[in-house]
Structure 1
Amino acid sequence: MTIYSLEQIKAAGWLKQSNYIGGAWVAADDGRIIGVDDPATATRIGDIPWVGATETRQPSTRRTPPSKRGPAGERAALLGRMADALSLSRQTT
Protein backbone atom coordinates (compact mmCIF):
# COMPACT_ATOMS: atom_id res chain seq x y z
CA MET A 1 0.00 0.00 0.00
CA THR A 2 1.27 3.44 -0.93
CA ILE A 3 0.99 6.19 1.66
CA TYR A 4 0.87 9.78 0.42
CA SER A 5 1.68 12.95 2.33
CA LEU A 6 -0.77 15.83 2.47
CA GLU A 7 1.55 17.85 0.23
CA GLN A 8 1.52 15.05 -2.40
CA ILE A 9 -2.26 14.82 -2.24
CA LYS A 10 -2.61 18.58 -2.71
CA ALA A 11 -0.03 18.64 -5.55
CA ALA A 12 -1.87 15.86 -7.38
CA GLY A 13 -5.15 17.78 -7.17
CA TRP A 14 -6.81 15.07 -5.07
CA LEU A 15 -7.75 17.38 -2.20
CA LYS A 16 -11.11 18.95 -2.91
CA GLN A 17 -12.05 21.89 -0.76
CA SER A 18 -15.71 21.70 -1.66
CA ASN A 19 -18.60 19.40 -0.83
CA TYR A 20 -19.62 16.53 -3.09
CA ILE A 21 -23.40 16.53 -3.06
CA GLY A 22 -25.52 14.60 -5.52
CA GLY A 23 -22.74 14.09 -8.05
CA ALA A 24 -21.42 17.66 -8.10
CA TRP A 25 -18.78 19.63 -6.24
CA VAL A 26 -20.58 22.56 -4.62
CA ALA A 27 -19.71 25.63 -2.58
CA ALA A 28 -21.83 27.33 0.03
CA ASP A 29 -24.26 29.83 -1.47
CA ASP A 30 -23.18 32.45 1.07
CA GLY A 31 -19.46 31.67 0.74
CA ARG A 32 -19.05 30.48 4.35
CA ILE A 33 -16.31 27.93 5.04
CA ILE A 34 -15.22 25.79 7.96
CA GLY A 35 -11.66 24.72 8.69
CA VAL A 36 -10.68 21.06 8.67
CA ASP A 37 -7.95 20.13 11.14
CA ASP A 38 -5.95 16.94 11.56
CA PRO A 39 -7.08 15.65 14.97
CA ALA A 40 -3.69 14.06 15.64
CA THR A 41 -1.66 17.22 15.12
CA ALA A 42 -4.22 20.05 15.21
CA THR A 43 -2.72 21.20 11.89
CA ARG A 44 -5.06 22.86 9.40
CA ILE A 45 -5.54 20.52 6.43
CA GLY A 46 -7.88 22.73 4.44
CA ASP A 47 -11.27 24.39 4.33
CA ILE A 48 -14.66 23.21 3.11
CA PRO A 49 -17.86 25.11 2.39
CA TRP A 50 -20.37 25.30 5.22
CA VAL A 51 -23.47 24.22 3.29
CA GLY A 52 -27.01 23.76 4.49
CA ALA A 53 -30.44 22.77 3.31
CA THR A 54 -30.47 25.32 0.49
CA GLU A 55 -27.47 23.82 -1.31
CA THR A 56 -28.56 20.22 -0.84
CA ARG A 57 -32.02 20.89 -2.27
CA GLN A 58 -30.82 22.50 -5.50
CA PRO A 59 -31.66 20.42 -8.60
CA SER A 60 -28.01 20.15 -9.62
CA THR A 61 -27.08 18.55 -6.28
CA ARG A 62 -29.85 16.01 -5.88
CA ARG A 63 -29.17 12.29 -5.77
CA THR A 64 -26.90 10.97 -8.50
CA PRO A 65 -28.86 8.90 -11.03
CA PRO A 66 -28.02 5.18 -11.12
CA SER A 67 -26.63 5.50 -14.64
CA LYS A 68 -23.84 7.74 -13.32
CA ARG A 69 -23.00 5.80 -10.17
CA GLY A 70 -21.39 2.82 -11.89
CA PRO A 71 -22.14 -0.86 -11.41
CA ALA A 72 -22.91 -1.99 -7.87
CA GLY A 73 -20.10 -4.56 -7.98
CA GLU A 74 -17.51 -1.88 -8.78
CA ARG A 75 -18.79 0.38 -6.01
CA ALA A 76 -18.73 -2.52 -3.54
CA ALA A 77 -15.16 -3.41 -4.53
CA LEU A 78 -14.09 0.21 -4.06
CA LEU A 79 -15.67 0.35 -0.61
CA GLY A 80 -13.94 -2.92 0.27
CA ARG A 81 -10.55 -1.53 -0.76
CA MET A 82 -11.21 1.63 1.27
CA ALA A 83 -12.12 -0.47 4.32
CA ASP A 84 -8.95 -2.55 3.90
CA ALA A 85 -6.82 0.60 3.67
CA LEU A 86 -8.41 2.05 6.81
CA SER A 87 -7.93 -1.23 8.67
CA LEU A 88 -4.28 -1.42 7.64
CA SER A 89 -3.77 2.21 8.62
CA ARG A 90 -5.21 1.58 12.09
CA GLN A 91 -2.94 -1.45 12.55
CA THR A 92 0.21 0.52 11.71
CA THR A 93 -0.47 3.50 13.96
Structure 2
Amino acid sequence: METIIGILAGVFTSVSMLPQLIKVLKEKDVENLSPYMIAILVTGVSLWVIYGMILQEWPIILSNAFSVLVNITLLTCYFFFKKT
Protein backbone atom coordinates (compact mmCIF):
# COMPACT_ATOMS: atom_id res chain seq x y z
CA MET A 1 0.00 0.00 0.00
CA GLU A 2 2.82 2.43 0.81
CA THR A 3 4.31 1.85 -2.66
CA ILE A 4 1.02 2.82 -4.30
CA ILE A 5 0.79 5.95 -2.14
CA GLY A 6 4.39 6.83 -3.03
CA ILE A 7 3.77 6.35 -6.74
CA LEU A 8 0.57 8.43 -6.66
CA ALA A 9 2.31 11.19 -4.69
CA GLY A 10 5.13 11.20 -7.23
CA VAL A 11 2.76 11.33 -10.19
CA PHE A 12 0.71 14.21 -8.79
CA THR A 13 3.80 16.14 -7.72
CA SER A 14 5.64 15.66 -10.98
CA VAL A 15 2.71 16.68 -13.20
CA SER A 16 1.66 19.63 -11.03
CA MET A 17 3.58 22.15 -13.13
CA LEU A 18 2.46 20.77 -16.51
CA PRO A 19 -0.63 23.03 -16.73
CA GLN A 20 1.60 26.06 -16.11
CA LEU A 21 4.10 24.92 -18.74
CA ILE A 22 1.34 24.31 -21.29
CA LYS A 23 -0.12 27.76 -20.59
CA VAL A 24 3.28 29.41 -21.02
CA LEU A 25 3.93 27.56 -24.27
CA LYS A 26 0.51 28.51 -25.66
CA GLU A 27 0.48 32.15 -24.57
CA LYS A 28 4.23 32.84 -24.55
CA ASP A 29 3.59 34.97 -21.47
CA VAL A 30 5.86 34.55 -18.44
CA GLU A 31 5.21 37.86 -16.74
CA ASN A 32 3.61 36.24 -13.67
CA LEU A 33 6.27 33.56 -13.19
CA SER A 34 8.97 33.83 -10.56
CA PRO A 35 12.27 32.48 -11.87
CA TYR A 36 13.53 32.29 -8.28
CA MET A 37 10.66 30.01 -7.22
CA ILE A 38 11.26 27.76 -10.22
CA ALA A 39 15.02 27.64 -9.55
CA ILE A 40 14.42 26.74 -5.90
CA LEU A 41 11.94 24.05 -6.96
CA VAL A 42 14.43 22.61 -9.48
CA THR A 43 17.05 22.50 -6.73
CA GLY A 44 14.67 20.73 -4.36
CA VAL A 45 13.47 18.10 -6.80
CA SER A 46 17.06 17.54 -8.00
CA LEU A 47 18.00 16.76 -4.41
CA TRP A 48 15.06 14.33 -4.29
CA VAL A 49 16.49 12.59 -7.36
CA ILE A 50 19.84 12.25 -5.62
CA TYR A 51 18.11 10.99 -2.47
CA GLY A 52 16.18 8.45 -4.52
CA MET A 53 19.40 7.29 -6.16
CA ILE A 54 21.02 6.80 -2.76
CA LEU A 55 18.05 4.70 -1.63
CA GLN A 56 17.67 3.09 -5.07
CA GLU A 57 13.96 3.95 -5.03
CA TRP A 58 12.73 4.19 -8.61
CA PRO A 59 9.42 5.93 -7.82
CA ILE A 60 11.34 8.78 -6.15
CA ILE A 61 13.92 8.95 -8.94
CA LEU A 62 11.51 8.86 -11.88
CA SER A 63 8.84 11.19 -10.57
CA ASN A 64 11.32 13.82 -9.46
CA ALA A 65 13.44 13.51 -12.61
CA PHE A 66 10.30 14.22 -14.64
CA SER A 67 9.60 17.21 -12.39
CA VAL A 68 13.16 18.48 -12.95
CA LEU A 69 12.63 18.23 -16.71
CA VAL A 70 9.31 20.09 -16.61
CA ASN A 71 10.63 22.84 -14.36
CA ILE A 72 13.87 23.33 -16.28
CA THR A 73 11.76 23.64 -19.43
CA LEU A 74 9.57 26.20 -17.67
CA LEU A 75 12.63 28.14 -16.48
CA THR A 76 14.07 28.08 -20.00
CA CYS A 77 10.77 29.41 -21.34
CA TYR A 78 10.91 32.20 -18.77
CA PHE A 79 14.20 33.48 -20.13
CA PHE A 80 13.19 32.88 -23.75
CA PHE A 81 9.80 34.63 -23.54
CA LYS A 82 10.45 37.37 -20.97
CA LYS A 83 10.06 40.90 -22.21
CA THR A 84 13.16 43.01 -21.91
Q: Tell me the TM-score normalized by structure 1.
A: 0.37
Q: Larger Rg: 1 or 2?
A: 1
Q: Which of the two has greater strand per residue?
A: 1
Structure scoring higher RCO (CA < 8 A, sep ≥ 6) equals: 2
Q: Which of the two has greater helix per residue?
A: 2
Q: Tell me the TM-score normalized by structure 2.
A: 0.40
